[in-house]
């Protein structure tokens, strides 16, 4: 974990933030030889599709998807119910 002083951060902010972003480094900031802050990379996000692909699960075919949707609605009516009636 690199350590820099506050002056270096002020002079090289763009380069330091690029390092944090591209290399995933955490940078510790010192002022008067005392650690005052850390710059950490933000957590990476992914879409639901990326998450499912990462699980190694095979995706449903279009027919399987349609069948699942029909099965999931089997017990339910499309009618709108009035909760006050």
Q: Please report the pLDDT score of residue 84 as a whole number.
A: 85
Instruction: Give dist(CA 19, CA 7) in Å, integer.
Output: 17
Q: Which of 28, 39, 25, 30 is nearest to 7 (CA)?
A: 30
In the chain, domain spans: 3-39
**pLDDT per position in the chain (85 positions), as tens?**
799 999 999 999 999 999 999 888 999 999 999 999 999 998 878 777 777 776 766 677 888 878 888 888 787 777 777 778 6
State the pLDDT at residue 26. 94
């Amino acid at each position: 974990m690199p350590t820099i002083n506050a002056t270096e951060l002020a002079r090289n902010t763009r380069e330091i933030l690029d390092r944090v972003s591209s290399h995933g480094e955490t940078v510790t900031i010192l002022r008067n030889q005392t650690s005052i802050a850390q710059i950490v990379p933000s957590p990476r996000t992914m879409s639901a599709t990326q998450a499912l692909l990462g699980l190694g699960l095979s995706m449903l075919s279009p027919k399987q998807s349609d069948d699942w949707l029909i099965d999931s609605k089997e017990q339910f009516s499309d009618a709108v119910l009035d909760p006050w009636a």
